[in-house]
Every structure is written in C-alpha cells, then in structure tokens.
A and B are shown apart, each in its own frame.
Chain A
Amino acid sequence: MPVNATASPAVAMRGIDKRFGAVHANRAVDLTVAAGTVHGIVGENGAGKSTLMSILYGFYQADGGEIEIEGRTARISGSREAISLGIGMVHQHFMLVDTLSALDNVMLGAEPTFRLTPARATVRAGLQALMDRTGLVVALDAAVAELPVGERQRLEILKALYRGARILILDEPTAVLTPLETEQLFATLRQLREQGTTILLITHKLKEIMALCDRVTVMRQGAVVLDAEIADTSVDGLAEAMVGRRVNLAASAAARAPGEALVRARDLRWRDGLGVERLKGVSLALHRGEIVGVAGVSGNGQSELLDALSGLLAPQQGALTVGARGFTPERWLDPATARTLRIAHVPEDRHKRGLVLPFAAWESAVLGYLGRYCTAGWMQHPRMKSDTAQMMDAWDVRPRNPALRSSKFSGGNQQKLVLAREALPEPEVLLVGQPTRGVDIGAIEFIHGRLRAMRDAGGAVLVVSSELDEILALADRVIVMNAGAIVGELPIAECSESALGRLMGGAVH
C-alpha cells in the first residue's frame, strides 16, 4: 500500500549487472521500491539478493545499470554516500563494538563534536526522541556485549535511523531472533512504515514476506523471476518461483531398498555460545545403500548436524550410535574415532577445514589419515606422494601435480582432492557438506556420479546442500531442516520443489 503512488519511487534500480570473475551475480536486475512500503526480496543462497543490496549500499559498484534514489540519479561509490542519500543497512552479522555502550556505538563515526562528553549529550537527546517516536527501546548505557540479540538488532536499526536513513535495508533480520523477538521486530517495522520509512527486507522465509511485505521480488541465479504485489501471490507461488525449474530425477530413481542402519542419532540438542539453540532435537538414521539429502537454507542447523555426526561438535543432549558403539554427550565421538569407525567427512568449508592451504597437495591428501602413512613416527613421504598421485588419477584432479600447494588448485579440484582422500579408505558412512559449492558443472556431474557409486556399493551417504537441485538429483530420502529442527522428511518420489521450498521456508509438514 504505497503511501503516495504518484511520488517517485524511493529506490529504482534499472538493468543492474554485476560479475565476479566467472560468476554472473546480477543479470540486468530491475527493482522498483515505492516510498513508504516494505519490499521483500527473496531467493535461494547465491541468487544475487545480497549482491544487489551491496550495490545499493555502495559496497560494490555495478558493472552496468543505473540507480535512482527518490527520483534522482545516484552514483553510490561507498557506504558514506549511501548514508548521505538516506540509505541505511542492518547487516545479518551486526556491525557493533561489543565493549562500547549502545550510545557510543551509535555515536561512533558520527560524533557531532570533538569533545565526547557534550557529544554524548547531543546524541542521547536525539536518540531519546527517536526511541519515543519509533518504539525501538534500547538500554543506551549498557555495553553491547550485555544486550540480548533482539536489542542489538534494535540498536542497529536505531543507528541507521539516527544517521538519517529513510530507506532501510534489512539483511536476513530474523535469522538470529527468537519467534517473540521476530514479532516485536515486525511490529516495529510496521510502525516505521507508517511513519514513512521505506524498508527493503532480504529473507528466505516466505511466511515473513507474506506477513509483512507490500510487494515482493523473487531472484534466482542473479535475475528477477517474479515481481508481484503480495496480494497477488502465495507461499506456494513464491516457493515455485524461488526454486525454479523441475530437475531430472531419473538418476535417483534407480535406488534400491536401503539396508541396516549404520548411524543413528537421537534427539541431538546444541546451544551455541550466545545461547541460541542451533539443534533442537534432531533425530535421524543413515542406512546402508542410501543417500540422505539434508535440504534447507544454510544456517538452519545443517552444519551443526554434520559436525555432531563427524565428532567435531559434542551436543549438550542426545545420543549417537555408530554400529555397535554408543556415544553420549559426556563422551561424544571424536574425529579420530569417527575415522576408525569408518565415517568419512567432507567438510562444508574446504579452505578452513578440508585442506591445509599452505601444504603441498600430497601433505593435505593425508590429513586425518596420518596413521596409514607413518612408521615409528616418521612420515613415509614416497608413499604419501604415490597415493596422492593415485587419488588424483582416480578423481581427475587437475593439474596432476602432488607437489603443488593446496591453495593453488581451483575450487573444484580442491573439492575432488578432499573427496578422493575421504573415499580412499572406502568408508561405510560418508558425510558430505556442500559437495559441489563453487564447483563447475562438469565436475558436479562427476562428483554426483561418484557419490551414487558409493551408495550403490553399500555405503550410507549424507549430503548437506543448500542447492535444492543437488538434493533432488542425489538423494533417496530428503530431510528438511529449518531453525535447527527437522521440519519434514520425504522419500524422493514425494518431493516437489514447491513442497521442499515451503518446508525450507518454515511451514511444518
């Protein structure tokens, strides 16, 4: 419900184009946001929504296209210009100094005077008026570290408004909030809208779009695929648009009946350091001869699940059975034991975990399996090198140079090296996080083929992927996670993109 339909739009982006190397992040994107409305932008991970907002906020420069703010052409070459144009951004990861007070955080970089004591008084008065007007209440004298997450977010919004934001960009604002805090946030945002603030809401939670927005833009693979009034669309329609075309399921259809359970996890619960419950009672079983796909927008507990099953993270509650061995939170599985129990793990982040980047390939290729390349404490370099050459042959790692630094391989080849290493001992259970993130199309087909072959040879494979296409192409059974819980479990035959998309968006099956 635009306040004034005849006024020029708050934001008009036309033909925005942006490439990062080979990745076409934004393809001729048009976005028009009417003043005084809440405009939702949805899409899967990597759909280009964050890039688009970063261009609007001046973090990136578009390769092509133009931007108009409140009817005037704008060249935004940095956040300082964006702020002066009345654009404010609240990032998913808060940009606050934990040790400073809330007041000082607002003042930081916007000090009205050189001396801070009178500056504080000025800012405090301004903030008080702002808090009265918007209902955004924050304890101004508390250190940020002591504030609950919801209050930190209110502080971020206040910070943007204090700097004169009339257009507010919120990037995944509810990712870290409890349901109650989400309700409060939405109430605040509605009030801000009534007071004339334009709000751009980036999210992947379709329910939130339906609850709050006036209009929605759906992005997929860098392009806008849908732009509609909220009254003219539905959660189903958005899910369909977000996920896109049907993929070929033929590859998975040949699955046979799975065998006995190799891994059973029951009621895993884990809270992170901030007290946010990341795993909320997750139970699952992995059987011989099946690929289980874990779908969900990243950050909904999939990573923590993978870490718990591979021994990198001990949950605070729950139980795990691997073959005949049982584990409890007091004595949880550790990564070395996991390998002796024939659980292999291809981590989501190959740069941080999967490889030691400064190591030569032949050194990274034995990470986690030192025992096999060691006699009396001495590393057997010739055997390490010959095995690496063998892995490179078997998985087509290019260039075939075991002496090359791990960091020098392309993403796809790094991933194949990690997969080759984890597959070499012929594990019974393979846990794979984002098997083809950043991998080119040819290598994706290759990796998928290998994962299926491992399944067919009687292995249990767990694939965590934020790419729905990948889940649909690989899995025999799909688990959907949202906010740390399993919200649905479907055999592949019953999976449709819209059903999965709806579950991913938080609808309970």
Chain B
Amino acid sequence: MSQPVELPRWMDVLVLPALNLVIALAVAGVVVAIVGFEPLEVLQLLIRGAFGTPSGIGYTLYYTTTFIFTGLAVAVAFHGGLFNIGGEGQAIMGGLGAGLVALAWSAHLPAWAMLPLMVLAAALFGAFWAAVPGALQAWRGSHIVITTIMFNFIAAALLGYLLVNTLKAPGNMNPESAAFAASARLPGVHELLAALGIAWPRTPLNLSFVLALLAALAVYLGLWKSRPGYSLRATGFSPDAALYAGIEPKRLIVVAMALSGALAGMVGINEIAGVHGRLLPDFVAGAGFAGIAVSLIGRNHPLGIVLAALLFGALYQGGAELAFELNGFSRDMVFMLQGLIVLFAGAMAHVAAPFLYRLWKAGGGGKLAT
C-alpha cells in the first residue's frame, strides 16, 4: 500500500501516539534488561521521580516550560515551511537580552517594570537572531537550515566572549555575571503558592510556566485564527497557491522567523530570570534542539507540543532521579530512551498506522462512514 492510510481523527491523535510511546518504552525496556536492570522497576522509578513528589513535579514542569518554548518556536517556523534549527542560538540571545537589561537597570527599577522589560528584551534579541537568517532566506536564498545552525555557534561564542571579557563579575573565577537585583528575579511557583498559604517545596519552577502556556494559546490563535497565520500556513503548504492568492512570502518569512526566535528567546526568561538570577554560559543545554523533537512529536500543534514537552520534562527529571537512585544507571540511558521516543513517535510516527487501520477495519470501524 503506497498511499498512507486515513485513520479516524481520534485514533490519529490519541491511539497512535500512545501506541508509539508504548513501542518506544518496550524497546527501551529490552535495552535496559540487556544492561542488567529490571525494566519495570526502572520505569516505576522514572515515573515516581518525575511525578511522585511535589518537588519532582516542580522540576518536571520547570523542564517542560523550556521545551514548550523551543517546541513552539520550531512549530511556528514549520507552519511557514521553514525549518528553524536555530532555537539554541535564539535562546542564548534571549537570555543575553534579558541579562543585559537586568544588569543595567535591575538596581533602579521595581519588579513590575523590570520583568516585562526583560521579557521584551529576551523576545527582541531572540527575534533578531532568527529574523536575520529569515531575511537572508527571503531575499538572498540562503538556506535557513544552514544559516540558523551557523547562528547557534555565533550566539554561543558571543555570549562566551561577553561573559569572559566584559560581564564577568569582579573577583569571580567563573565566567558569570554579577547577580541581578531582586527586582529582576521572576517569582518561583513555591513563592507564589506560599503567598496563598500553600506549602510547596522550593523548585526552579517559576512564573515562566504560565507564560509558556499563554504562549501556546497565543500560537494557536495566531496560526489558526489570524490573517497572518492563514497566510503563513498557506505559504507553508503551497507556496504557489500563496503567490496566486497575492500573499507576499518574503516579509511573511521574516515575521514568522522573528516570532519563532522570540519564542525560543523566552527560554532565557525561564533560566536567567526564573532560576539563575545571573547570566552564565550553557544555560540552554541543548533545549533548542530538543524543541525540534518536541514539535515533531507534538505534530506542530500547540496542544500536542505542551503534551510532548511534558513528556520530555518528565524524562529529564525522572532520568536525573534514576541516575541518582540506581547505582550504575547512567543518564545516557535516559537519552537513549528519548532517542527511541523521537524515533518511534516522531520520525516513524506512521509506521504502525496501517496495523491500527486493519484492526479498526476488522472491528467494523468506518462502515457507517462509507
């Protein structure tokens, strides 16, 4: 059968991804067993580590926040037919933007002015870092995959240079900036809950999580309810139809990339304003690339991306917990599991579809429809 089969929507959206996840876990279980651990015990520990304690949940959602931002960044560009591999660099620039305004003004401005300013700076820095490759693609035909990858290196080098040469706090051996004043610290969720009288352990989870959910909603509304979103999706699906419809693709490419970069830049808010309170290297730690997998598994839809980000967040946190609890269980095993999930739920997402389709037909499905 050369044509992809057409599953009913509920199976396509729910059953197939769940099946893919189970296959990935099963294959990972085989590897775990070969290495000499008990697969079910590992799975149990993983889930307990991610969701078993309030602290675990806090960490899981903190990782989730970062993955939502980078996943959305990839999706926005993808709907315009653009493959933005530069989430990493755009996130670095977002952190740099937030850090620079914090270092400059956090001693003088109150939190209500400082925090929006940092969000704006992170968005603008990230947007700029993606808009340049976008413009090069639109007007010069430079392939966006290449330029965004290159921009990752430039961003990392720029941040490193600035930290070592100009921003390093005096007397500090590490390439880190001075700590920001309190007004530039995004409140943690434990602080907010404490204000409401709810006790919650201290975790890196901060207000950025709410920002991420709002961003997902905004991306949904923007892509499916707004005129530029329509134009972007039309361009992504069929550039010829877009030209026919009088849609000018060049500006649209730049705008889509800028929005994508702004979303990636929000990682800087989660990490720099929400957790570290100072500018430091390597705070992105591969989250920009993980966003590609998150978007792929989430089918480029904001809701799917939030769920896929939660899955990845749980794997990060549960994996850290596993490495801690099980002697000899390396964190690389968790990366292996992530890789299998990307393979089965992303790259090979439709391999199991014909099997499901036959099951569904055998069960009498679809007879009413035809």
A156: min CB distance to chain B, Å: 29
User: B217-248 vs A: 1/0 string, CB under 8 Å?
Assistant: 00000000111111101100110111111100
Residue of A nearest to B245 (CB): A368
Instruction: For chain A, residues 306 to 356, give those with C-beta under 8 angstroms from any C-beta of chain B.
Output: 311-312, 334-339, 345, 347, 349, 352-356
Q: Choose from B225, B226, B241, B246 the contact partner of A355 (Cβ within 8 Å).
A: B241
Cα(A363)–Cα(B231), bound, Å: 11
User: Which residues of A are found within 8 Å of B241, using beta-carbon distances?
Assistant: 352-356, 367
Q: How big is chain B's contact interface, by range?
A: 10 to 19
User: B235-276 vs A: 1/0 string, CB under 8 Å?
Assistant: 001101111111000000000000000000000000000000
Contact B244 A368 (CB under 8 A): yes
User: Which residues of B are found within 8 Å of A354, using beta-carbon distances?
Assistant: 241, 244
In the complex, A374 has a CB within 8 A of chain B:
yes
Contact A374 B244 (CB under 8 A): no
In the complex, A94 has a CB within 8 A of chain B:
no
Q: Choose from B227, B240, B243 the contact partner of A370 (Cβ within 8 Å).
A: B227
Cα(A367)–Cα(B237), bound, Å: 13
B139: min CB distance to chain A, Å: 17
In the complex, A377 has a CB within 8 A of chain B:
yes
Contact B227 A359 (CB under 8 A): no
Contact B231 A352 (CB under 8 A): no
User: Which residues of A are found within 8 Å of B237, using beta-carbon distances?
Assistant: 356-359
Contact B230 A335 (CB under 8 A): no
In the complex, A379 has a CB within 8 A of chain B:
yes
User: Which residues of A are found within 8 Å of B242, using beta-carbon distances?
Assistant: 356
User: Which residues of B are found within 8 Å of A352, using beta-carbon distances?
Assistant: 238, 240-241
A496: min CB distance to chain B, Å: 36
User: Which residues of A are found within 8 Å of B228, using beta-carbon distances?
Assistant: 377
Contact A378 B226 (CB under 8 A): yes
Instruction: For chain B, residues 285 to 324, give those with C-beta under 8 angstroms from any C-beta of chain A.
Output: none
Contact B238 A379 (CB under 8 A): no
Contact B238 A368 (CB under 8 A): no
User: Which residues of B are found within 8 Å of A347, using beta-carbon distances?
Assistant: 244
User: Which residues of A are found within 8 Å of B230, using beta-carbon distances?
Assistant: 363, 370, 379
Residue of B nearest to A355 (CB): B241
Residue of B nearest to A367 (CB): B245
Contact B227 A336 (CB under 8 A): no
Q: A312-B243, A312-B244 are in contact. Are A367 and B234 (CB under 8 A)?
A: yes
Q: Choose from B226, B227, B240 the contact partner of A353 (Cβ within 8 Å).
A: B240
Contact B227 A357 (CB under 8 A): no
User: Which residues of A are found within 8 Å of B244, using beta-carbon distances?
Assistant: 312, 335, 345, 347, 353-354, 367-368
User: Which residues of A are found within 8 Å of B246, using beta-carbon distances?
Assistant: 311, 334-339, 368
B88: min CB distance to chain A, Å: 29
Cα(A473)–Cα(B100), bound, Å: 72
A-B contact count (CB 8 A): 63
B81: min CB distance to chain A, Å: 12
User: Which residues of B are found within 8 Å of A312, using beta-carbon distances?
Assistant: 243-244
Main secondary structure of the interface of B (DSSP, over half): helix
Cα(A358)–Cα(B241), bound, Å: 12
Cα(A346)–Cα(B253), bound, Å: 26
Residue of A nearest to B246 (CB): A336
B14: min CB distance to chain A, Å: 20
Contact B226 A335 (CB under 8 A): no
Contact B226 A379 (CB under 8 A): yes
Contact A335 B227 (CB under 8 A): no
In the complex, A19 has a CB within 8 A of chain B:
no
User: Which residues of B are found within 8 Å of A357, using beta-carbon distances?
Assistant: 237-238
User: Which residues of B are found within 8 Å of A337, using beta-carbon distances?
Assistant: 246
Q: A335-B244, A355-B241 are in contact. Are A378 and B234 (CB under 8 A)?
A: no
Residue of B nearest to A350 (CB): B241
Cα(A381)–Cα(B226), bound, Å: 10
User: B101-121 vs A: 1/0 string, CB under 8 Å?
Assistant: 000000000000000000000
Residue of A nearest to B229 (CB): A379
Contact B243 A379 (CB under 8 A): no
Residue of B nearest to A366 (CB): B230
Residue of A nearest to B235 (CB): A356
Cα(A354)–Cα(B228), bound, Å: 19
Cα(A349)–Cα(B243), bound, Å: 13
User: Which residues of A are found within 8 Å of B234, using beta-carbon distances?
Assistant: 356, 359, 367
Q: Which of A338, A352, A353, A381 is the most central at the interface, judged by chain B CB atoms within 10 Å of its CB? A: A353
User: Which residues of B are found within 8 Å of A336, using beta-carbon distances?
Assistant: 246
Q: Which of B225, B244, B245 is the most central at the interface, judged by chain A CB atoms within 10 Å of its CB? A: B244
Contact A356 B227 (CB under 8 A): no
Cα(A210)–Cα(B240), bound, Å: 40
Contact B226 A356 (CB under 8 A): no
A404: min CB distance to chain B, Å: 12
User: Which residues of A are found within 8 Å of B238, using beta-carbon distances?
Assistant: 352-353, 356-357
B222: min CB distance to chain A, Å: 10
Contact A377 B240 (CB under 8 A): no
User: A373-399 vs B: 1/0 string, CB under 8 Å?
Assistant: 010011101000000000000000000
B104: min CB distance to chain A, Å: 34
Sorted from nearest, which 7 A-B pairs have the closest CB atoms?
A336-B246, A335-B246, A368-B245, A353-B244, A367-B245, A352-B240, A374-B227
A interface list, Cβ under 8 A from B: 311-312, 334-339, 345, 347, 349, 352-359, 363, 367-368, 370, 374, 377-379, 381
12 interchain pairs, CB-CB under 8 A: A335-B243, A337-B246, A345-B244, A352-B240, A367-B241, A368-B245, A368-B246, A377-B226, A377-B228, A378-B225, A379-B230, A381-B225
Extra 11 A-B pairs, beta carbons < 8 Å, given A356-B241, A357-B237, A381-B225: A335-B244, A336-B246, A339-B246, A352-B238, A356-B238, A359-B234, A367-B244, A368-B245, A370-B231, A379-B226, A379-B230
